[in-house]
Amino acid sequence: MPRGPRFVFENAFYHVFNRGINKQPVFLKEADYHFFLNKLYRLKSKYDHSIYAFCLIPNHFHISIHTRKIPISKIMSSLTTSYSMYFNRTYNHYGPVFQNRFKSILIESDPYFIQLSQYIYLNPVKAGLIKDPMKYPYSSIREAVGQESLYFLDEDIIRLVGETKKSQKQYEKFIYDGLKQDFSEIEKLFEKEEAVLGTNKFSTRAQKKYLRRRYKKNAKFRLI
């Protein structure tokens, strides 16, 4: 059976996630993180999309992406295929590096992005890698709060977080407040290959479009 199509929209926000096969580490040394991030950066200009948040953990990654014309599947395929080739070459590894297809959450609007960004930036704390998320080296949190110049992140992050020191501090406080939060509901979203985070109206519209595309794809498969 062919795999179903993803929720695909132009000018869409996604939270994408993937982990190493069998939950094994995919980033073993500092150079691995740098290779992945350099590829992530270069793909922005190649495929004309924006990055709004990311965090790399030894055995998985989270990225928030705003697509335009190029579908999310093509962007992620380029990223993970390139990294897998690098990983296999570097460590004499054979076979898949990442577990199945990446998982994605289609995000409706700014408040939902802000909610997921809190989860992204607290990932290394929840994983026991560090106590202070601001000190984790492989996330975009310092760009988001204005401690570093924008490099990976789109300038529109200023609109979402705020450009004044006060608004950036408020966002930083929001991140730290999440240390006491239960993220079990958000984590349920990653149990599926893809999900939707938004209002009922937005979710219904996404589902309808998904079903239309799946029907067309299956019909074409039956004809073949």
Residues near 146 by beta carbon (within 8 Å), at least 6 away in sequence:
161, 163, 165, 168
pTM: predicted TM-score of the whole model, two decimal places: 0.85
Q: How much is the pLDDT for 1?
A: 37
Integer Cα distance of 149 and 11 in angstroms: 25
Is residue 216 included in any domain, yes or no? no
Whether 210 is in a domain gets the answer no
Q: Are the beta carbons of 78 and 27 closer than 8 angstroms?
A: no
Q: Is 52 part of a structural domain of the chain?
A: yes
List of residues 6+ apart from 209 with CB closer than 8 A: 7, 8, 9
Q: Per-residue pLDDT tens for 76-133?
A: 999 999 999 999 999 999 899 998 788 888 887 677 888 889 999 999 999 999 999 9
How many domains in the chain?
1
Q: Is residue 109 part of a domain?
A: yes
pLDDT score of 210: 55
Residue 6 lies in a domain: no
Dihedral Cα 49, 97, 19, 13, nearest 10 deg: 10
Give the span between the Cα atoms of 83 and 37, in whole angstroms. 10
User: Which CATH number belongs to the domain containing residue 113 in this structure?
Assistant: 3.30.70.1290
Structural domain includes residue 3 = no
Confidence check: pLDDT of 223 > 60: no
Q: Name the residue among 144, 162, 137 with its Cα closest to residue 53.
A: 144
What is the mean pLDDT of the segment spanning 163-191?
88
Residue 186 sits in which domain range? 13-199
> Is 43 part of a structural domain of the chain?
yes
Q: What are the CA-CA distances from residue 156 to residues 126, 150, 171 (Å)?
A: 28, 10, 15
Give a yes or no: residue 217 inside a domain: no
Average pLDDT over residues 40-58: 95
Contacts of 92 (CB under 8 A, 6+ apart): none
The distance from CA 21 to its chain's CA centroid, rounded to whole angstroms, is 17
- Rounded CA separation 171/167 (Å): 6
Between 111 and 13, the higher pLDDT residue: 13
> How high is the pLDDT of residue 43?
96
- Check residue 206 and give its pLDDT: 63
